[in-house]
């Protein structure tokens, strides 16, 4: 499918991309001297799963008219690339359920070809990978993160509330066949999958996948007490060391994970620890929702509207100025806490609304 096969923007203006990356603007440096070079863009809040730690079972999704068009998402992402973003991750919700989503990947791939972007990646639940894996590779995507919390079909259905494990495994096979590097993202959940993490390490090694373990994050109300599910990754690591030889690694992908090499499998495990070990001092990323709201921190509610300057001006100058002002407000760190004395979520928005 080519861009000419797809509908034009429903509203707003499209950017003149001939000058993208050519304005010589300084890189984005926040008030703490951190170079912001990593952007995560949510293309939809919708998902075909309802994972228990991510969203409520009965979700109310945004009206489609409120969501940025693919052309607007392209223009917005390109503005950040002009400001020095070198890594761009497409997220959701589930990004691959967005209609005509490959148009966006095809369009953004021009920044890879020009050298103004180092990496274009995607985080997905894997349900659509069998359909899109080869097209993603054709657009320059070389790496995908796939959320997978269990290899037990019944438990998978319970965690996702509606997912089918076999479909995700087929998507992973297609990704591997297409040549994509795969990282499995697993949320460590006490009493749910903590007894499987050891087996996941071995399975990932056999499949040629890296594994990234994540502590549950207090984002949005999900209908249960997260205190019951919070599992510190320091505990997980101690348990894994009883079977596996873990060696600290200098490997970095630009995200918050800290890696170890697993000697027995030759693969890596990443640990993302927003609660047990804050990683904010090295934060280099910001997030934009599918409605054009910029969050400078995942764990803070301070946000900036980018949709208005995006839609109300044919020039990108107001948009770029708004981005620059927002980066200067980026906070030093998040406010994530899981504590029974503080039962409410750290933020009212769900993870699916912000983007993974």
**260-269 long-range contacts, CB within 8 A, separation 24+:** 262/201, 262/205, 264/205, 265/201, 265/202, 265/204, 265/205, 265/206, 266/205, 267/204, 267/205, 267/208, 267/209, 267/210, 267/211, 268/210, 268/211, 269/201, 269/210, 269/211, 269/212, 269/213, 269/240
pLDDT of residue 275: 59
* Cα four-point dihedral sign 204, 117, 327, 72: negative
pLDDT of residue 99: 96
- The confidence score (pLDDT) of residue 222 equals 43
Give the closest residue to 317 by CA, choosing from 52, 79, 13, 93.
79
Q: Which residue spans within 126-240 are E strands per DSSP?
A: 143-147, 181-188, 210-215
The predicted pLDDT at position 185 comes to: 96
CB 71 within 8 A of CB 43: no
Q: Which two tokens stand for residue 179?
A: 């040549």
Q: Which overall architecture, per CATH, does domain 24-354 show? A: Alpha-Beta Barrel (3.20)
- What per-residue confidence (pLDDT) applies to 353? 56
In tens digits, what is the pLDDT along the chain, a chain of 356 residues?
A: 444 344 333 333 334 333 334 455 678 998 889 899 999 999 999 999 988 888 778 788 889 889 999 999 999 999 999 999 999 999 999 999 999 999 999 999 999 999 999 999 999 999 999 999 999 999 999 999 999 999 999 999 999 999 999 999 999 999 999 999 999 999 999 999 999 999 999 999 999 999 999 988 654 454 555 567 789 999 999 999 999 999 999 998 767 889 999 999 999 999 998 655 555 677 888 999 999 999 988 767 789 999 999 999 999 999 999 999 999 999 876 554 444 444 444 445 455 556 65
Q: What is the pLDDT of residue 57?
A: 81
- Interatomic CA distance for residues 93 and 214, integer angstroms: 17
Instruction: Say what the pTM is.
Output: 0.85
Residue ranges per domain, the chain?
24-354
Task: Identify the pLDDT of residue 220.
Answer: 46
């Amino acid at each position: 499918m080519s861009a000419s096969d797809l509908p034009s923007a429903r509203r707003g203006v499209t950017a003149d991309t001939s000058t993208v990356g050519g304005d010589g603007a300084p890189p984005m440096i926040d008030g703490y001297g951190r170079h912001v070079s990593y952007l995560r863009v949510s293309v939809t809040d919708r998902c075909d799963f309802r994972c228990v730690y991510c969203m409520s079972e009965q979700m109310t999704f945004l009206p489609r008219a409120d969501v940025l068009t693919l052309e607007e998402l392209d223009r917005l992402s390109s503005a950040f690339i002009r400001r020095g973003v070198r890594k761009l991750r497409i997220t959701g919700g589930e990004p691959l359920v967005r209609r005509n989503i490959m148009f966006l990947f095809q369009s953004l791939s021009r920044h890879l070809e020009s050298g103004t972007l180092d990496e274009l990646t995607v985080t997905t639940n894997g349900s659509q990978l069998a359909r899109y894996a080869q097209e993603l590779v054709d657009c320059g995507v070389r790496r995908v993160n796939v959320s997978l919390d269990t290899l037990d079909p019944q438990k998978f259905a319970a965690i996702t509330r509606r997912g089918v494990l076999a479909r995700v495994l087929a998507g992973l096979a297609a990704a591997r066949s297409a040549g994509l590097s795969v990282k499995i993202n697993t949320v460590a959940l006490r009493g749910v999958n903590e007894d499987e993490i050891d087996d996941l390490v071995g399975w990932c090694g056999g499949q040629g996948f890296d594994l990234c373990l994540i502590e549950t994050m207090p984002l949005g109300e999900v209908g249960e007490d997260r205190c019951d599910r919070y599992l510190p990754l320091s505990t997980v690591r101690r348990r894994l060391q009883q079977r596996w030889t873990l060696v600290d690694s200098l490997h970095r992908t630009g995200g918050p994970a800290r890696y170890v090499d697993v000697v027995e499998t030759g693969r890596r495990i990443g640990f993302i620890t927003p609660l047990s070990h804050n990683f904010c001092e090295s934060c280099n990323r910001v997030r934009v929702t599918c409605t054009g709201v910029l969050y400078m921190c995942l764990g803070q509610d301070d946000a900036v509207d980018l949709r208005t300057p995006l839609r109300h001006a044919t020039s990108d100058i107001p948009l770029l100025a708004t981005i620059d002002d927002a980066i200067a407000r980026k906070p030093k760190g998040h406010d994530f806490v899981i504590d029974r004395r503080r039962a409410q979520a750290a933020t009212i928005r769900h993870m699916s609304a912000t983007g993974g």
